[in-house]
């Protein structure tokens, strides 16, 4: 009796479609199932009992723990089998029982996770979400469809994010926060619905922000939340900070760009 030859690193009980494209260095644990349209880059490890399906592309050196569902069809009643995608970058850690869906034809058609993200257990990333780099999602974080998450964002456990909400770079949510409005860059929030509490100063210090850049962020917080200004007035005040803090010009531009893209209907976390 001739038994099939199982490549090194692939457990004998794993079911991998012959059309799937896995680098020779990829490892796959027991009882995992990988579909025909899946591509996995070098150095990625996939634990036991994972299901990876759909048009899913996974980059290099990711650590995917057991019992994950990646690339399933979106939880969208309008979806009718279109070849939408899930794209995962490099060096991400994805802990147990996460579910990431492919995109939907009603938007960009792609759900995207960047590089170097730390995704804890039971996280759900719905269709058409875009997540940047260096983020941390604590346990049971849930993103509804079309959410955009910037770089270095930290989401506390049990955070829930409403569809189409945007989270700016370096923002932070406390445990069990519910976001129904856009969260500007650098802002820390808490509550149901979430309210702004402060700026993520400690996180900025750990990332090497200078004293002047942090002072500019403090001034942005004052303009947005403490001076009683309208959003338009606050933006005008923030724009002037580059004169006093030239080093903060990229941070000011990022904040202004984010605020300019916020729809009046949704607004920002206040």
Report the catalytic residues. Answer: 127-128, 145
d(CA 157, CA 213): 29
Structural contact between residues 126 and 144, judged by C-beta atoms closer than 8 angstroms:
yes
CA distance 80 to 89: 26
CB 119 within 8 A of CB 95: yes
Q: Is the dihedral of CA 36, 38, 43, 46 positive or negative?
A: negative
Sheet containing strand 99-101, edge to edge, reads 15-16, 33-34, 51-52, 69-72, 99-101, 124-125, 142-143, 160-161, 178-179
Q: Provide the 3-class DSSP secondary structure of residue 224.
A: helix
Distance between CA atoms of 201 and 109, rounded to whole angstroms?
36
Q: CB within 8 A of 240, min separation 6: which ones? A: none
Cis geometry, peptide bond prior to residue 51 (ω within 30 degrees of 0): no
Q: What is d(CA 268, CA 59) in angstroms, rounded to the nearest whole number?
A: 34
Paired tokens of 248: 């903060």
Backbone angles phi, psi at 39, to 5 degrees: -125, 135
CA pair distance 15, 140, nearest whole angstrom: 28
């Amino acid at each position: 009796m001739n038994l099939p030859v199982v490549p090194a690193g692939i457990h004998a009980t794993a079911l991998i479609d012959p059309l799937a494209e896995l680098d020779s260095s990829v490892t796959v644990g027991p009882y995992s199932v990988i579909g025909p349209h899946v591509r996995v880059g070098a150095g990625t490890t996939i634990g036991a009992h994972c299901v990876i399906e759909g048009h899913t592309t996974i980059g290099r050196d990711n650590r995917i723990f057991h019992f994950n569902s990646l690339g399933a069809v979106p939880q969208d009643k309008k979806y009718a089998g279109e070849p939408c995608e899930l794209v995962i970058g490099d060096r991400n850690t994805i802990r147990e029982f996460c579910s990431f869906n492919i995109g939907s034809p009603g938007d960009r058609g792609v759900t995207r996770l960047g590089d170097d993200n730390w995704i804890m257990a039971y996280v759900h990333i719905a269709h058409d979400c875009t997540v940047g780099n260096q983020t941390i999602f604590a346990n049971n974080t849930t993103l509804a469809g079309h959410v955009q998450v910037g770089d270095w964002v930290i989401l506390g456990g049990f955070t829930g994010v409403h569809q189409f909400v945007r989270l700016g770079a370096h923002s932070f949510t406390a445990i069990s926060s519910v976001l129904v409005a856009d969260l500007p860059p650098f802002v820390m929030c808490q509550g149901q619905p979430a309210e702004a509490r402060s700026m993520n100063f400690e996180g900025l210090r750990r990332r090497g922000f200078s004293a002047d850049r942090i002072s500019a962020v403090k001034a942005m917080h004052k303009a947005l939340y403490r001076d009683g200004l309208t959003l338009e007035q606050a933006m005008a005040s923030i724009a002037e900070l580059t004169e006093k803090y030239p080093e903060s010009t990229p941070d000011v531009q990022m904040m202004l760009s984010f605020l300019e893209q916020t729809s009046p209907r949704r607004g920002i976390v206040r």
